[in-house]
Amino acid sequence: MDETTVSEIATTIPEAPVSPLEPPACEPTLSPDKYSNEVLLVGYINRLIGRVAIPPNDRHGIRKLYVQLLLSALNSRDLMPISDQVLPPRFQISIGGENPHHDSFLDRVAESLENYFERQPSAIENFEYCISAKLRDREYYLPEVDPALTTRLNDLASKLALTAHERAIVQFFHITGCESWMRKMKAFLPLAHFYSVVAAATELTFGEVKHCFRKSGRLMILEIFDVSRDADAGLSPAVKDYLTGVSSDEFGSDHYRIDRESVLPLESFSSHSKDIERLLPLLKRDKATAVLFYGQPGVGKTELSRALSRETGRPTYVVLAGEDNELRGRKIAMQICANLAEADSGIVIVDEADDLINTAGSVFSKGPTDKAFLNNFLDGCRATMIWITNNASEIEDSVKRRFDYSIKFSNFSNADRKRFWQTSLKSHILGQAIRPTFIEEASARFRVNASGIARALA
């Protein structure tokens, strides 16, 4: 199907359909809870009624999906009177003790209605009119939206720097994600038509929805959302758990922390004294700075970055690797930390960033960071960040050019180990107990780097 715009597929619910029928009065059915998010779902469905275009050659079964949408809005008490009023006797619906929201029942009823509306296209207007009126009546009596959801959505949007349009789309998919009609629309509708459905429900334009789902948009690069044709595709599990309250933790907190632990004195890194002199002014300036530390594991990259950040007196946010080094969570944590650091002039340390920053040799089709994401992130980041990686051989040249300063770390020499032992013991509780001869012997015998000495003194 050719790509269409909302204006081309949208229709207006008629004010006076042919032979209008008054829907049965809706009795107030207040939820036992004080709050309910059903009012949002009812609003989405009501905005979609009459606005889903059914092409003459309906090879995608849009009419059937649309009828399922209409049916999903009703309960059995509503459905029976409307079917009796609108449909001829041989098409009227018999519930017979069945669950009117069960997929198999909706499929069977939708098929019957689809056949009837195909023969009598004008009859669908009466059906839409009655259902829309019923929904408006129900919406009036529903409890207000749970303020906890609003708080979580606002927190999510703030931490990830989502636009108002992106926030609206996240809310829409959170509310409708478990609905049968929504799952089928995601799986079977042409993408352009599906975007039009989202636009009509959220009152955005087709162009605004398409822009939110662009490859370089936040919904995609942070993998908040998956637009694959799988019916189960939608919001990421972490986002769903947070919005539903399943996860009580602060969003993204399992992939970052605020660094408040003790650090080694800068004198411990005397082999990098010249780099430290150049770096401190860069890290203290108001302008965002990107720094790269690379080299063998355990040579003091993380410890030096923490010591430098502490020396500036600014808050330090550390993006953690985690047990599975899960990139989706780390991308989200990077964005959260960058926003926090921008707000309070902090510094972000991205530890073990190999999979995030080495893009040239990526062999994965999906998941690991690509160059476009990394360049866009570095260009748009307004926070000072220190990136730490063991391997720098597969960092793209275009990425390297975006760093203001880089340091290559080598394995410690014997003299480096002695200096590190001596400076680390100055402020250590064992400083007076360990003899100089031990430092000489340990430096020569144990060919460890900074991390090995730090663990020994821990």
**Per-residue pLDDT tens digits of the chain, which is 458 residues long:** 344 333 333 333 233 333 444 444 444 343 445 667 888 888 888 888 888 877 777 777 777 778 778 777 665 556 666 666 666 666 565 555 555 556 666 667 777 777 777 777 777 787 788 788 878 877 777 778 888 899 999 999 988 889 999 999 999 999 988 777 788 788 778 888 889 999 999 999 999 999 998 887 888 888 888 655 555 568 888 888 889 888 767 788 888 999 998 888 888 787 888 999 999 999 999 899 999 999 888 888 998 999 999 999 999 999 987 665 577 888 889 999 999 999 889 999 999 998 888 877 654 434 356 677 788 888 888 999 999 999 888 888 888 889 999 999 887 777 777 777 777 776 666 666 677 777 777 777 776 766 676 677 66
Output the CA–CA distances (angstroms, integers) from residue 118 to 54, 55, 254, in the order listed.
Answer: 10, 11, 53
385 strand-pairing partners: 290, 348
In degrees rounded to 5, what are phi and psi of residue 343? -70, -35
User: Distance (Å, rounded) from C-alpha 197 to C-alpha 168?
Assistant: 14
CA 13 to chain centre: 35
Number of alpha helices (DSSP H) and beta strands (DSSP E) in the chain: 22, 6
For residue 316, what pLDDT is reported?
A: 95
The whole-model pTM stands at 0.73
For residue 9, what pLDDT is reported?
A: 30
Over 84-138, what HEC string results? HHHCCHHHCCCCCCCCCCCHHHHHHHHHHHHHHHHHCCCHHHHHHHHHHHHHHHH
Q: Given CA atoms 245, 137, 101, 41 in this order, what sign does their dihedral have?
A: negative
For residue 223, what pLDDT is reported?
A: 82
In the chain, what are the domains? Answer: 1-251 (no CATH), 255-409 (3.40.50.300), 414-457 (no CATH)
User: Distance (Å, rounded) from C-alpha 101 to C-alpha 371?
Assistant: 46
For residue 458, what pLDDT is reported?
A: 67
User: Distance (Å, rounded) from C-alpha 212 to C-alpha 218?
Assistant: 8
In degrees rounded to 5, what are phi and psi of residue 270? -65, -25
3-state secondary structure of 348: strand
